Structure 1
């Protein structure tokens, strides 16, 4: 018979945790992106929700001649405008947030439930806004690119030649390229294969790949369909006759550019409702403010790079 030593008694982790306060993060939502496009655009406040884009017609008809030192009269000329200019009306994105008052009363420490619900709802609306700026059939960048400004790859991934051709179409002070992150990866692989890895530049505290000194901005709102995506080259600013964003200033309950939150009251079921609205649009001031490259393949296992299959 052996004498067993008594096991030492100590407070276990599970029991100890009942007296401890966990540090809690605010809710994390994977769908939130940097939304670089919104940051890179120039934005114009719009009165009464309407922006009229006036354009010159037949600029080549303006008659200009140099003085030839004789007595012949100089030509008389004028600049004509479109008689029915396009008007852009701000589009609204709405949603109603419902929060039970019991939840906000009892469970708002350490994080305010209403504040967090509104924050996440606003983030979702801003994500939708960026998608509309790119893909809206009414005012989006892709749908409103002029036919003469569209190019297609010869088949395969986006190449330096493709981006050079885009620069040739939109050469007047281009500000940035825009494409899906997979498009940037495909372009980077092609540059590396050719021995011309693209340099990077720091903007907004982040690193961006560039081509010819022009940053390539990523956005997951540029769609990838059938293994292919698009590249856009954009000039921005009203003074440069570029692309401009449009928003409504001075909204009641304004929480940001064109964004408002309005309390709608509490119903008989003790549900508090908040109307979250965002008003915006986009205008391409002249056709050559944008160039569009279509059908750029993003499949990393393309035939030209068998090593990627290993």
Structure 2
């Protein structure tokens, strides 16, 4: 028997693969990020989706609060009060929603070993959570970047983010700041500038991950802080928590169909074309309790990728 005949009688690999079970992964999506802002913000539960922010009226020379130190025995004590805003701002929870449509034939026949409906829900919930972080930063009504006070905004000295710029930002949010929030490219640009000056920033481990720090404050990355086509972005510095009159996230627990805090998945039924629908809703908002709880470093140049090729 010739060697060629012997090879033809051997089971080839392609035919053998037809009887083998491939190990399958869940669907991988590169758009999933750590969403550190959601993890680092303290979250306050609200009722009826409303949070009323009461503030003291800043006197600015119009009304003086009289407080005396060691008044004389024959002197009258000062009479005063602390004025409140008569029309405080109210925050309403924003809904990030989407609808999943699944053909029942698909879910009935092709849900082993991975359940098609659960996999679709998992991926759409990830998309909704990614949108949540973007809204917390950029939403026109309550976003941190868009609602920072004009007096809390500064511009970079030289374009690239420098230690001097971040120090000036700390001077704006000097009452127990918690962390910087920046695009990963902005953090990389800051790291390069620090290294160029011979002051490489130290790192700290939080939530099991390493972060660069400046003056002991971690630089938290988020790609939801956009970079313009010419390489410009912003860096935020936040003080957080109600006790510190800082920045907080808002959510409502116990919503119908809740699968996570303020996250709801509800079955909407099956139509006459055998399409099953599921409503995914995530309710959230954010509040800046006092103006000096957040500062913004604007017009930060992070460069184009080809600048460092």
1:51 corresponds to 2:51: yes
Q: Mean alpha-carbon deviation: is it higher for 271-280 or for 4-13?
A: 4-13
> Which residue does the alignment assign to 1:84?
87
Counterpart position of 1:171: 174
Tell me if 1:63 matches 2:63: no
Q: C-alpha displacement at 1:76, in angstroms?
A: 1.7
Aligned pairs (5 A) from 1:121-270: 121-225=124-228, 226-270=230-274
Q: Deviations over 1:216-261 (max 9, x none)?
A: 0000000101211100000111111000111121111001121101
> RMSD of the alignment, in Å?
1.7
Q: CA deviation at 1:143?
A: 1.0
Deviations along 1:96-124, one digit per CA (max 9) or x if unpaired, are: 10001111111111111000000001110
Q: Deviations over 1:248-307 (max 9, x none)?
A: 2111100112110110001111110001111111100000000000001001689xxx9x
Alpha-carbon distance between aligned partners in 1 of 2:198 and 2:157, rounded to the nearest angstrom: 20
Distance, in Å, in 1 between the alignment partners of 2:16 and 2:305 is 52
Q: Which residue of 2 aligns with 1:105?
A: 108
How far apart, CA to CA, are the structure 2 residues paired with 1:130 and 1:86? Answer: 22
3-state DSSP of counterpart to 2:218: strand
Q: 1:301 to 1:119 in 2, by over 3 A?
A: closer
d(CA) in 2 for partners of 1:71, 1:188? 63
Cα distance, 1:205 vs structure 2: 1.1
Tell me how far apart the structure 2 counterparts of residues 300 and 32 of structure 1 sit (CA, whole Å).
23
Q: Given that residues 155 and 295 in structure 1 are in contact (C-alpha distance below 8 angstroms), is that contact kept between their aligned partners in structure 2?
A: no
| Distance (whole Å) between structure 2 residues aligned to residue 102 and residue 155 of structure 1 | 60
Aligned residues: 303
Match of 2:76 in 1: 73
Distance between the aligned counterparts of 1:166 and 1:172, measured in 2?
12
For 2:13 and 2:78, how far apart are their aligned partners in 1?
A: 93
Which one of the candidate residues 292, 302, 305 is aligned to 1:288?
A: 292
Aligned to 1:260, the other structure's residue is in SS state strand
**Post-superposition offset of 1:71:** 2.3
Does the aligned pair in 2 maintain the 1:167–1:174 contact within 8 Å?
Answer: yes
Structure 2 regions of 5+ residues with no counterpart? none
For 1:267-278, list aligned pairs within 5 A.
Answer: 267-278=271-282
- For the Cα contact (< 8 Å) 2:71–2:77, is it kept in 1? no
Gaps of 5+ in 1: none
Deviations 1:163-189 (A, max 9, x none): 000000001111110010000000000
Secondary structure of the structure 2 residue equivalent to 1:88: strand
Structure 2 partner of 1:11: 11
Distance (Å, rounded) in 1 between the aligned partners of 2:137 and 2:178: 16
